[in-house]
A and B are shown apart, each in its own frame.
Chain A
Amino acid sequence: MFTFTFPQLLQQLANGVTVGCLYALVAIGYTMVYGILRLINFAHCDIFMMSMYFCYYAITVFSLPWPIALVLVVVATAVLGVIIEKSAYKPLREAPRISLLISAIGVSYLLENLATVVFTGVPRSFPAVGDMQEILTFGEVRVMKLAIYAPIIMLVLLFSLLFLINKTKTGMAMRASSKDFETARLMGINVNKTISMTFLIGSALAAVGAVIWGQRYPQIQPFVGVMPGLKCFIAAVIGGIGNIKGAVVGGMLLGVMEILIVWRFSALSGYKDAFAFIILIVILLFKPTGLFGETFVDKV
């Protein structure tokens, strides 16, 4: 019989929510790009990885104070995202979708291999940022301050993003472009600028996610983004890809479920990475387009 105390449950939930927030932040990037370009941006996980290296260089190598470092990291990552969009995706605007996907895989390979050449494959340890790694004790529950910060950061960013999308001109341009490029252009929207904006925001959020991720899993190597990236993409699919709120719900759901399952069935911890896929497949069986996804409508 599986018995547990309430503090234990709280402990696990706190862990789950922290991981869930990380998934959510990166999943938003996947879902935004998908929403506008219908592209699974395979390179997003490597943008995440690069961001971790940026942070490592800013704090560990150049010893910048963390607030300055953080700003620089977010800016650098956002710029990287836009450069990738301009060089690898923009030329393929009219090309078949699969070419775009291959281009994304190409970027992903390029970033991973470039990182291997430039940063070498030797794992580095991620620096502590601020007091996020300090331990807080509430009775029997011990968590990093991160567990408090992560949800706050995530929610603040989420609501700013939702405000941007629903209440500003830029957001309106994004919503219009995600429906139809041609019509959006006719309405006077600069579609290319809007797409760049999307990459900028998505990458910036990935940077924030990367910094928090590094606090919890403080090791960097060139392929560090692959597994988290895949899981965040899964989170986005669970929520219904293209839907921002869905990405957040999917991320939280995935994070909490993963932690709880490993806790409950500790004998199966070897299968930890498989849980995400099982959750995904089970959800898709009941909701073939995710929890909040638009259903396919084939016009006959």
Chain B
Amino acid sequence: MSETTAARRVLHTEAATMRFGGVTAVNNLNVEVFEGEIVALIGPNGAGKTTAFNLITGVYTPTEGKVFFAPGRSGEAPQAETEITGKKADAITRMGMARTFQNIRLFKTQTVFENILIGQHLHIKSGLFSAVLGIGHKEEKAMRERADELLQLLGLDHVRNEPCASLPYGLQRKLEIARALATNPTLLLLDEPAAGMNPQETVELTDFIRDIRSRFSLSVLMIEHHMDLVMDISDRIYVLDFGQTIAAGTPAEIQNNPRVIEAYLGVDADA
């Protein structure tokens, strides 16, 4: 554990466990994320990382254990921790936690710009009829302006009106992050953001994540296989194997941990 414990905790799980029938995908998971931290969740394929994400973000309700989150919006100080175990995914996102997906899930028939707009829908104040009748046109205009701002900030403005399905892979990943940011989160969960990227793109991504962390005052929890990226960027790392947390600590501690080396033995860590 690092010495930053004075910082506020934005997320923690308490012995969270997920079983599917007889299979325990995640066992007794205790993850903590503090304000402003970048925390990585690593482990071989099938270690239960994505399941851990799913039970934090409300896609699954943990079979046992609890999840706590300090709600808040980007730029504001998070509020006191509340339990979010069993809350629905959309409610959790509205509290200020956003995520991306391992196998990119953009809104395929929509343009880049529209994808960002959809990310802002959760904060809409106009009702259905005022939005349709144009009474809420000021809010619509504000949403559009903000979307353009975000695109510009993240360097996606040149593809603004492209259908998102036509974007190259790397840009799709970036767009998914941008869309998550549009929900105005304090905590961002990235599921393998560097998957399918070449070394050059991975380096750029590292800077990109750092950049958005400070620009949007985020805390980040991410799953990643690219060890260069993980060791470079993470404040702390959790290592999962067969659903168990086998190690936790700073990158340096993890690199020298015999159990971690054992878990990765014979497994291509860069897969």
Name A's B-contacting residues (CB within 8 A).
300
Instruction: Give 5 pairs: A residue, B residue, CB < 8 Å, sorted on A.
Output: A300-B50, A300-B54, A300-B59, A300-B101, A300-B102
Question: B residues within 8 A CB of A300?
Answer: 50, 54, 59, 101-102
A300–B55 Cα gap in the complex (Å)?
Answer: 11
A300–B54 Cα gap in the complex (Å)?
Answer: 8
Name B's A-contacting residues (CB within 8 A).
50, 54, 59, 101-102
A236–B78 Cα gap in the complex (Å)?
Answer: 51
Question: A residues within 8 A CB of B102?
Answer: 300
Residue of B nearest to A298 (CB): B59
A300–B102 Cα gap in the complex (Å)?
Answer: 8
A300–B89 Cα gap in the complex (Å)?
Answer: 12
Question: A residues within 8 A CB of B101?
Answer: 300
Separation in Å of the B107 CB from the closest CB of chain A? 16
Residue of B nearest to A299 (CB): B103
Question: A residues within 8 A CB of B59?
Answer: 300
A300–B101 Cα gap in the complex (Å)?
Answer: 7
A239–B70 Cα gap in the complex (Å)?
Answer: 45
Separation in Å of the A208 CB from the closest CB of chain B? 39
A204–B59 Cα gap in the complex (Å)?
Answer: 44
A269–B214 Cα gap in the complex (Å)?
Answer: 71
Separation in Å of the A155 CB from the closest CB of chain B? 32
A168–B158 Cα gap in the complex (Å)?
Answer: 58
Separation in Å of the B47 CB from the closest CB of chain A? 16
A300–B20 Cα gap in the complex (Å)?
Answer: 14
Separation in Å of the A294 CB from the closest CB of chain B? 14
Separation in Å of the A296 CB from the closest CB of chain B? 13
A299–B50 Cα gap in the complex (Å)?
Answer: 10
A300–B59 Cα gap in the complex (Å)?
Answer: 8
Residue of B nearest to A297 (CB): B20
Separation in Å of the A156 CB from the closest CB of chain B? 35
Residue of A nearest to B59 (CB): A300
Question: A residues within 8 A CB of B50?
Answer: 300
Residue of A nearest to B105 (CB): A300
Residue of A nearest to B103 (CB): A299
Rank and list the top 5 A-B pairs by shortest CB-CB distance, nearest first. A300-B59, A300-B54, A300-B101, A300-B50, A300-B102
A271–B54 Cα gap in the complex (Å)?
Answer: 46
Separation in Å of the A250 CB from the closest CB of chain B? 25
A110–B102 Cα gap in the complex (Å)?
Answer: 46
Separation in Å of the A297 CB from the closest CB of chain B? 10
Question: A residues within 8 A CB of B54?
Answer: 300
Residue of A nearest to B50 (CB): A300
Separation in Å of the A284 CB from the closest CB of chain B? 21
Separation in Å of the B4 CB from the closest CB of chain A? 31
A300–B53 Cα gap in the complex (Å)?
Answer: 10
Separation in Å of the A124 CB from the closest CB of chain B? 50
Separation in Å of the B54 CB from the closest CB of chain A? 6
Residue of A nearest to B191 (CB): A300
A126–B50 Cα gap in the complex (Å)?
Answer: 61
Separation in Å of the B169 CB from the closest CB of chain A? 19
A300–B25 Cα gap in the complex (Å)?
Answer: 14
A300–B52 Cα gap in the complex (Å)?
Answer: 12
Separation in Å of the B51 CB from the closest CB of chain A? 9
A300–B58 Cα gap in the complex (Å)?
Answer: 12
Residue of A nearest to B89 (CB): A300
Separation in Å of the B266 CB from the closest CB of chain A? 26
A6–B227 Cα gap in the complex (Å)?
Answer: 76
Separation in Å of the B98 CB from the closest CB of chain A? 15
A288–B254 Cα gap in the complex (Å)?
Answer: 46
A300–B60 Cα gap in the complex (Å)?
Answer: 10
A300–B99 Cα gap in the complex (Å)?
Answer: 12
A300–B192 Cα gap in the complex (Å)?
Answer: 13
Separation in Å of the A98 CB from the closest CB of chain B? 15
A300–B56 Cα gap in the complex (Å)?
Answer: 13
